[in-house]
Structure 1
Amino acid sequence: MAKKTVATLQTGASKKMTKVIKMVKSPKTGAYYFDEKVVNADSVNDFFK
């Protein structure tokens, strides 16, 4: 599945896309989970705020 994502990110139409992963702590249980998204390269800093 990761190969498919990488292959689609390298196509000519979407070269400026980046896969970002953020670790988030759940306020209800206290457990950590990972939030993965494919975002535009210009909005990576907005994702981590």
Structure 2
Amino acid sequence: MAKKAVATLRTGGGQNLAKCIKMVKNPETGAYQFKETVTYKESAKDFFNKKK
């Protein structure tokens, strides 16, 4: 028999977070790399505006 999915309680702490993924070109090799981070939604634009 299949297991029944159980909903978990959310405290509301993680609802203001966003996962940001940015593609960055490596100056030495010219290859692209992906830079990932989990930030608050308010500071997501700061992450994308940073050069490095």
> Could you tell me the TM-score, scaled by structure 1's length?
0.73
Give me the whole-angstrom Cα distance separating, in 1, the residues matched to 2:11 and 2:24: 30
1:30 to 1:42, Cα distance in 2 relative to 1, 3 A: same
Identity among equivalent positions (%) equals: 50
Task: Give the 3 Å change call, closer, same or farther, for CA 15–29 of structure 1 in structure 2.
Answer: same
User: Quick check: which one's helix share is greater?
Assistant: 1
| Gaps in structure 2 of 5+ consecutive residues | 1-9
- Which is higher, the Rg of structure 1 or of structure 2? 2
Question: What's the C-alpha RMSD, in Å, of the aligned pairs?
Answer: 1.4
Deviation at 1:26, TM superposition (A): 0.2
Q: Residues 25 and 39 (structure 1 numbering): CA distance in 2 closer, same or farther, change over 3 Å?
A: same
Query: What corresponds to 1:6 in structure 2?
Result: none
Structure 1 counterpart of 2:20:
20
Unaligned runs of 5+ in 1: 1-9
Structure 1 segments of 4 or more deviating over 3 A? none
